[in-house]
């Protein structure tokens, strides 16, 4: 009987093909029982006219196999097609991005003490939903979406991970002093779930000082759980501080399937030169072998790679005068790792592996009593010197027969009416908050009626955001002085 695991592979763009070739050679030499189904994704596929960057039949291949080993792909900046990495992670529900990172001093120069940390990054939500709009001549916006089930899943996963890997502390990083609703929800769920893990130390850090700790004292951190964007940024800082962005791999975990990759990108600046460090993707492959229950092979490959590094055989990104014995290219590094399969490093310790698969379940969240309290009506308005008092007068006149009354106007979140300050800079994008007299109930129909009156007075409504109260608690941000 054939006991081989079939995995999907994609060679990607830039240095992708070189580091994938290296990783596959090492996997094959290790004897790991794997079979490969290759798909093509990335730049070439986009350019051939396939808008998603993956052909229809290749989505099926990814679906069919439990594991996907993917080399980096080029995503254009500022315009062009959407990130295919994000599309794969979200379409297949790969909600947890796990990025372990360790220092290997003195063999690899690191700008910190002895670090051994893991970033557990939320992978499906936050600003990566990519929902963006230009709304006025001057203003564009992006939607930051944080859900309760999404947050519960990632926070629960972080604690289960800490328990499974015998880690002592979980640190949550958010910016909830500013984003009280979105980041505030993440922090609150972290506090709630932490109560189920009394043996694990917990802490919360604001992301700005948290990033500074990653950059200067990462040895103080153990497991870090954070939102999508912050996790993306601090893991590159972490990897670079540990020695090179070329060393770390990551897993993207979903229910019964996962994708493995390097944390770095396609490095087009060094593509095709045989100088890329294959260790990031190789680390991804090691995480994949553990995930597939093939830990003896994972351990063997990790040991061989660490022994190679320990003996001073380094790619250019790791070069260090006095420590590097031989600077090698991608192909030669690969040969050296293969030659050491079955050997152990002398100084660096290879991780013991006795970890069971992590399973999580989350509770239902549909227990809310939701009450409508008013609406924020956003306008594109560029008249009368952008004088907010004039805009307020027009809105008060337009809404005189509505049960909703103008309460406040803000511009880029700053209150400009009533009692605005003349110094405040004003764009053409206005948020106008309408609420009823105290004790009066509001319905959606009241809001639609208000909007129709505002529209009849020739004001340009670009969107509305309704104001809700959930379970007796205000569920929207206040403006200054409200």
Residue span binding ligand NAD (CB under 6 A) among the ranges 22-30, 266-274, 364-372, 432-440: 266-274
Residues 416-475 that bind ligand NAD (CB under 6 A): none
Residue 72 sits in the site that holds ligand NAD (CB under 6 A) = yes
Among residues 183, 310, 317, 446, the one that binds ligand NAD under rule CB under 6 A: 317
Among residues 264, 307, 340, 415, the one that binds ligand NAD under rule CB under 6 A: 264
* Least distance between ligand NAD and beta carbon 58 (Å): 16
Residue span binding ligand NAD (CB under 6 A) among the ranges 275-283, 370-378, 444-452, 454-462: 275-283
**Polymer length of the chain:** 482
Count of residues touching ligand NAD (by CB under 6 A): 20
* Least distance between ligand NAD and beta carbon 246 (Å): 3
Residue 43 sits in the site that holds ligand NAD (CB under 6 A) = no
From CA 57, how far away is CA 199, in angstroms rounded? 47
Among residues 103, 182, 266, 399, the one that binds ligand NAD under rule CB under 6 A: 266
From CA 70, how far away is CA 39, in angstroms rounded? 10
75 vs 228 by CB, closer to ligand NAD = 75
Tell me which residue has its CB nearest to ligand NAD.
Answer: 265
Residue 11 sits in the site that holds ligand NAD (CB under 6 A) = no
265 vs 374 by CB, closer to ligand NAD = 265
From CA 350, how far away is CA 343, in angstroms rounded? 11
286 vs 409 by CB, closer to ligand NAD = 286
Residue span binding ligand NAD (CB under 6 A) among the ranges 21-29, 108-116, 259-267, 306-314: 259-267
* Least distance between ligand NAD and beta carbon 23 (Å): 11
Strand boundaries in 11-84, DSSP class E: 34-39, 67-70
Secondary structure tally for the chain: helices H, strands E: 13, 20
Helices (H), 179-326: 182-194, 207-216, 228-242, 279-291, 295-310
Among residues 53, 150, 210, 246, the one that binds ligand NAD under rule CB under 6 A: 246
* Least distance between ligand NAD and beta carbon 168 (Å): 30
Residue 324 sits in the site that holds ligand NAD (CB under 6 A) = no
110 vs 451 by CB, closer to ligand NAD = 110
Residue 270 sits in the site that holds ligand NAD (CB under 6 A) = yes
Residue 284 sits in the site that holds ligand NAD (CB under 6 A) = no
**CA dihedral for 112, 118, 123, 125, sign (positive or negative):** negative
Let me know if 443 is exposed, middle or buried by CB neighbors in 10 A (0-12, 13-18, 19+).
exposed
Among residues 199, 269, 352, 359, the one that binds ligand NAD under rule CB under 6 A: 269
From CA 154, how far away is CA 99, in angstroms rounded? 13
Strands 169-174 and 67-70, by their bridges, are unpaired
Residue 74 sits in the site that holds ligand NAD (CB under 6 A) = yes
Among residues 61, 75, 228, 248, the one that binds ligand NAD under rule CB under 6 A: 75
User: In the 8-state DSSP scheme, what is residue 50?
Assistant: -
The number of CA neighbours under 13 Å toward the Cβ of 425 is 3
Strand boundaries in 17-56, DSSP class E: 34-39
75 vs 411 by CB, closer to ligand NAD = 75
Q: What is the dihedral of CA 137, 143, 252, 269, to 10 degrees?
A: 20
Cα–Cα–Cα angle for 147, 149, 154, rounded to 5 degrees: 95
- Asked whether the beta carbons of 450 and 442 are under 8 A apart, the reply is no
Residue 308 sits in the site that holds ligand NAD (CB under 6 A) = no
Nearest to 244 by CA among 104, 56, 393, 382: 104
Residue 292 sits in the site that holds ligand NAD (CB under 6 A) = no
284 vs 345 by CB, closer to ligand NAD = 284
Helix axes 279-291, 295-310, angle to 10 degrees: 160
Residues 15-34 that bind ligand NAD (CB under 6 A): 15
The pair of three-digit structure tokens given for residue 481, joined into one six-digit string: 């002085």
Question: Residue 67: phi, psi to the nearest 5?
Answer: -125, 145
User: In the 8-state DSSP scheme, what is residue 113?
Assistant: S
DSSP 441-478: ---HHHHHHHHHHHHHTT-EEEEEEEEEEETTEE-SPP
Residue 280 sits in the site that holds ligand NAD (CB under 6 A) = yes
* Least distance between ligand NAD and beta carbon 445 (Å): 46
Residue 73 sits in the site that holds ligand NAD (CB under 6 A) = yes
Beta-bridge partners for 126 = 145
245 vs 451 by CB, closer to ligand NAD = 245
Query: Rule CB under 6 A: which residues touch ligand NAD?
Result: 15, 72-75, 85, 245-246, 261, 264-270, 276-277, 280, 317
């Amino acid at each position: 009987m054939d006991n081989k695991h079939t995995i999907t592979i994609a060679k990607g763009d830039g240095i992708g093909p070189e580091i994938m070739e290296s990783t596959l050679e090492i996997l094959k030499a290790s004897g790991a029982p794997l079979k490969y189904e290759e798909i093509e994704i990335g730049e070439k596929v986009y350019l051939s006219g396939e808008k998603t960057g993956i052909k229809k039949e290749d989505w099926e291949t990814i679906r069919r196999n439990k594991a996907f080993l993917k080399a980096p792909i080029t995503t254009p900046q500022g315009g062009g097609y959407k990130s295919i990495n994000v599309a794969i992670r979200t379409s297949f529900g790969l909600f947890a991005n796990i990025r372990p990172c360790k220092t290997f001093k003195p063999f690899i120069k690191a700008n910190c003490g002895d670090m051994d940390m893991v970033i557990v990054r939320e992978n499906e939500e936050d600003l990566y939903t990519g929902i963006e709009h230009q709304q006025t001549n001057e203003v564009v916006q992006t939607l930051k979406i944080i859900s309760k089930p999404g947050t519960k899943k990632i926070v629960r996963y972080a604690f289960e991970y800490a328990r499974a890997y015998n880690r002592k502390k979980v640190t949550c990083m958010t910016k909830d002093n500013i984003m009280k609703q979105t980041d505030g929800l993440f922090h609150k769920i972290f506090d709630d779930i932490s109560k189920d893990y009394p043996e694990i130390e917990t802490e919360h850090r604001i992301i700005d000082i948290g990033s500074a700790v990653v950059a200067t004292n990462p040895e103080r951190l153990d497991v870090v759980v954070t939102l999508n964007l912050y996790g993306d940024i601090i893991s590159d800082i972490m990897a670079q501080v540990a020695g090179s962005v070329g060393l770390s791999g990551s897993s993207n975990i979903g229910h019964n399937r996962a994708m493995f990759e390097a944390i770095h990108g396609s490095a087009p600046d060094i593509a095709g030169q045989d100088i890329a460090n294959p260790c990031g993707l190789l680390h991804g492959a090691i995480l994949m072998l553990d995930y597939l229950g093939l830990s003896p092979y994972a351990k063997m490959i990790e040991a061989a790679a660490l022994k190679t590094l320990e003996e001073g055989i380094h790619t250019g990104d790791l070069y260090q005068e006095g420590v590097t014995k031989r600077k090698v290219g991608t192909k030669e590094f690969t040969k050296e790792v293969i030659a050491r399969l079955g050997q152990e490093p002398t100084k660096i310790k290879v991780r013991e592996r006795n970890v069971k698969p992590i399973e999580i379940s989350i509770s239902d969240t549909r227990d809310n009593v939701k009450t409508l309290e008013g609406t924020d009506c956003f306008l594109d308005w560029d008249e009368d010197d952008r004088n907010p008092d004039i805009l307020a007068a027009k809105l008060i006149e337009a809404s005189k027969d509505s049960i909703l009354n103008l309460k406040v106007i803000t511009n880029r979140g700053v209150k400009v009416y009533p009692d605005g300050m003349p110094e405040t800079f004003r764009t053409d994008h206005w948020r106008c908050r309408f609420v009823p007299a105290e004790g009066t109930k509001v319905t959606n129909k009241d809001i639609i009626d208000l909007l129709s009156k505002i529209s009849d007075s020739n004001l340009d409504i670009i969107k509305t955001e309704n104001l809700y109260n959930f379970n007796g608690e205000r569920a929207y941000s206040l403006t200054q002085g409200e």
